[in-house]
């Protein structure tokens, strides 16, 4: 029981650190309608802490970004990628598929879930349900690509194995 608690505590701490990293990076490096550093951190979270802790990290960062003046898109654009990427990684241990999971999770699922929420809560007057896909997908590709590059570097140096072993 003690060991399980220790692992959960480590994962909670890493989750909080990843949320903070995403928030800080997205605050200082801002692109209009894009948050590539959220997707960068989502890919890291999917591999390091898994889909559910990755979801928590993205949700925490999204809520903090909303409190800083962003719309609900800060949450919907972030939460699906680490879940899908993390579930894929859990089954395959393929880093390239985590990239694909993040892009599909954000670029498709996040974009599609944003449309009705933006319409209901913010009065978005757009008729196309796919409106956000062209905005979310490029940001997800850029950010997930950066995350993949870091993970590949970590794997090559042996650091990824050490990190995942200490967290699992």
Q: Which residues of 125-155 are buried (b: 16+ CB within 10 A; e: fewer)?
A: eeeeeebbbebbbbbbbbbbbbbbeebeebe
Q: How far apart are CA 35 and CA 62, in angstroms?
A: 11
Give the pTM. Answer: 0.90
**What's the mean pLDDT in 24-42?**
83
What is the structure's pLDDT at 17?
A: 96
Domains of the chain (ranges; CATH) run: 2-167 (1.10.1760.20)
pLDDT in tens, 47-58: 999 999 999 999
pLDDT in tens, 10-32: 899 999 999 999 999 988 776 66
pLDDT in tens, 102-129: 999 999 999 999 888 888 888 888 888 8
Q: For 123, left (φ over 0), alpha (ψ -120 to 50), or beta?
A: left
What is the structure's pLDDT at 5?
A: 59
pLDDT band per the 50, 70, 90 thresholds, residue 6: low
């Amino acid at each position: 029981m003690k060991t399980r608690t220790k692992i959960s505590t480590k994962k909670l701490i890493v989750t909080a650190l990843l949320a903070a990293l995403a928030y800080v990076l997205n605050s200082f490096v801002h692109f209009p309608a894009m948050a590539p550093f959220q997707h960068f951190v989502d890919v890291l979270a999917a591999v390091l802490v898994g889909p559910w802790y990755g979801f928590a990290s993205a949700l925490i960062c999204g809520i903090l970004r909303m409190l800083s003046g962003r719309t609900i898109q800060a949450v919907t654009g972030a939460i699906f990628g680490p879940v899908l990427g993390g579930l894929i990684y859990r089954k395959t241990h393929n880093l390239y598929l985590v990239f694909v999971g993040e892009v599909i999770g954000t670029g498709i699922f996040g974009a599609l879930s944003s449309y009705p929420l933006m319409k209901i809560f913010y009065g978005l007057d757009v008729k196309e349900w796919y409106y956000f896909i062209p905005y979310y997908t490029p940001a997800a590709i850029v950010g997930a690509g950066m995350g993949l590059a870091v993970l590949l570097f970590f794997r090559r140096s042996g650091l990824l194995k050490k990190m995942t072993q200490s967290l699992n």
